Amino acid sequence: MRLLFNVIGHTMNMNPVFFEYSMVVTLILYTLSAAFVFLHASRPATLFVLAGLILNLIFLVSRGQIGNNWYLFPMVDELYLIPAIMAAFMYPAIGKRERNEVVTIMGTLLIATFIAVIADIEPPSPTIKGKSLVASLFFLSEAISVTLFLTAGAVAAAMLPAKLPVKESWNGLLLWGFVMFTLCQILGALWAFLGWSYPFSWSNRHLLSASIWCFYGAAIHLRYIGMNLKSKALLTILGIVPVVFMVYHHQVTELLGVIL
Amino acid sequence: MKRWTWCSFLSELKPGFYLLLAASVLLFAGALIVDCHSEEFRTLNFMLLYKWLVLFHDRPVLYVWMFVLFAILFALGVNTCCCTWLYMKKSIRSGVSVKKAGIVLFHVSFLFFLSGHLVYEVTGSSETLLLKKGEVSHHSKTELCLKTLTLQRRHVDLAGKKLPMGTSTSITVTDPSGKVETIYPESMKPAFAMGYSFHVCMNEQGLSDEQIRLIIRRSPALCIFIAGAAGIIVAFLLFMLGTRRIRLE
């Protein structure tokens, strides 16, 4: 494993241009995959998404090498990790899930990768707060849960135009997303206590996390409320708003600054 | 008659669902408020809520927001309590399963977290001290006496730059009864002694090589949080075990 990391690290150091543009190439590969999904060609679509995923993972791993050392923290940057997890979810889904579901998930994957590409890639540097393993586990669990929430929203969006009664295939995603997000909150509280001395901080990040937890806590109880399917789907889609605001907070504020 | 309606309202799942949604909306609004007033809210991390509120007596919107949030969270706690109790009774009657036990434990742990937060906001103490190597400092609030024995800063050299990677220190703590303990806190690695946790502050700006900022905290809520976290992890394990068993059957 160490050897693999070193090989990737040295390759990246020797080819800084490749390092800079690898997410662009990843986006191109995902876009090609999406094009083949549109053309009903599952096999090439799967191959391109796999190629994109491998490149995305190489990029993430390469972020860990700083100087002559390896750090876990820069490897779990949500901006680049979310597209990778989504692609890993996409890979077995092509050809197995409903076509409209695959299309909406693919759309979400392309948007997430596009944001990762346009974001300023700052060279990662070691930090005090990132030296704890808890910090890396926190971001990893958050990225997994956020991906599951976004995918659930995408699947729910795919069901909206359907006139025939459809099954709520996003329920499992919501449930496991909620499980991961709850674990992530525990890890986050532990990290905050270790580093800052308090498990809960009155900051926008913590309040947003609490807001998202309450929202999805409500969403997983939807099936017992007796709400109609369309309202359930709309609520699941609505959940994307605070999630996007939390993960892409800097990008959203920058964009608002440009627009307003 | 009215009281009965109110009780039954709080013991149903539907109000719980809407209370969760309302809490979510209020917390989201809170995140936006905090975004605009981050400095004021930062002080709340080191103060008790009622003492902090006194400082902001001229902010009625803040008071209303906090009051409504706490009222909703309280109602949510009561609702969770009632619903879990009813679910537990129903489960016992229909047959206990691993999955149901996981669900009950999860809700009980959630109650632990809610009560933990309440205790956290109204009890405990926290103070930041500036210590100097070799000098003895008296902590007025807790009457602890601290002496910094060693202090070591860690750096990483990166492209000619020295990046701080934390501080490790050893401190002797003496309580009013004369009991002495030596602790070894580091950045991101607090030490515990005499019922307090000692955290090396990550902000090292303006400090000399001989100085260190130390946060001393005592919070009874920590035990409640730990119990809640342990409960949630066990609940998830039970839930996963139960789900797997159902699939296998």
pLDDT category of residue B238 using cuts at 50, 70 and 90: very high
- Phi/psi of residue B192, nearest 5 degrees: -120, 135
Chain A interface includes B123 (CB < 8 A): no
Terminal CA-to-CA distance of chain B, rounded, Å? 47
pLDDT category of residue A97 using cuts at 50, 70 and 90: confident
**Contact at 8 Å (CB) between A1 and A64?**
no
Taking the C-alpha atoms of B73, B74, B79 and B80 in order, what is their torsion angle to the nearest 10 degrees? Answer: 70
- ipTM for the whole complex: 0.91
**Contact at 8 Å (CB) between B170 and B183?**
yes
The string of pLDDT tens digits covering residues B198-233 is 999 988 778 888 889 999 998 888 999 999 999 999
Take residue B23 and report the two structure tokens written for it.
């809490």
Terminal CA-to-CA distance of chain A, rounded, Å? 48
pLDDT at A39 over 80: yes
Rg (CA), chain A: 19
Average pLDDT, chain A: 86
Mutate to test the interface with B, among A133, A183, A185, A202 (most CBs of B within 10 A): A202
Chain B interface includes A2 (CB < 8 A): no
Take residue B241 and report the two structure tokens written for it.
């075990």
DSSP state, A187?
H
Chain A hits for B200, CB-CB cut-off 8 Å, are none
Mutate to test the interface with A, among B19, B26, B33, B45 (most CBs of A within 10 A): B45
> What average pLDDT does this structure show over A175-197?
94
**Contact at 8 Å (CB) between A143 and A81?**
yes
Report the residue count for chain A. 260
Chain B hits for A252, CB-CB cut-off 8 Å, are none
Residue in B34, B187, B239 closest to A204 by CB = B34
State how far residue A30 is from chain B, nearest Cα, in angstroms: 33
pLDDT at A35: 94
% of chain A surpassing 90 pLDDT: 45
**Contact at 8 Å (CB) between B181 and B173?**
yes
Q: Which residue has the higher pLDDT, B65 or B6?
A: B65
pLDDT at A236 over 70: yes
Chain B interface includes A214 (CB < 8 A): yes
Chain B interface includes A225 (CB < 8 A): yes
The string of pLDDT tens digits covering residues B164-174 is 888 999 999 99
Restricting to A residues 4-63, those with a Cβ less than 8 Å away from any Cβ of B are none
pTM for the structure as a whole: 0.90
| CB pairs A-B closer than 8 Å | 127
Say how far residue B236 (Cα) sits from the centre of its chain.
21
> What average pLDDT does this structure show over A75-101?
88
Take residue A106 and report the two structure tokens written for it.
């693919």
Chain A interface includes B156 (CB < 8 A): yes
State how far residue A215 is from chain B, nearest Cα, in angstroms: 5
> Measured between alpha carbons, how far is A240 from A218 in angstroms, rounded to an integer?
14
pLDDT at A48: 95
Contacts of B6 (CB under 8 A, 6+ apart): none
pLDDT at B78: 92
Chain A hits for B117, CB-CB cut-off 8 Å, are 200
Chain A hits for B126, CB-CB cut-off 8 Å, are 197-198
pLDDT at A130: 84
Residue in A126, A193, A203 closest to B165 by CB = A126
Take residue B83 and report the two structure tokens written for it.
């619903």
**B25 contacts A211? CB cut-off 8 A:** yes
What is the per-residue DSSP string for B200-231? E-S--TT--TTEEEEEEEE-THHHHHHHHHHH
> What average pLDDT does this structure show over A214-239?
89
3-state class of A132 per DSSP? coil
Take residue A74 and report the two structure tokens written for it.
């820069």
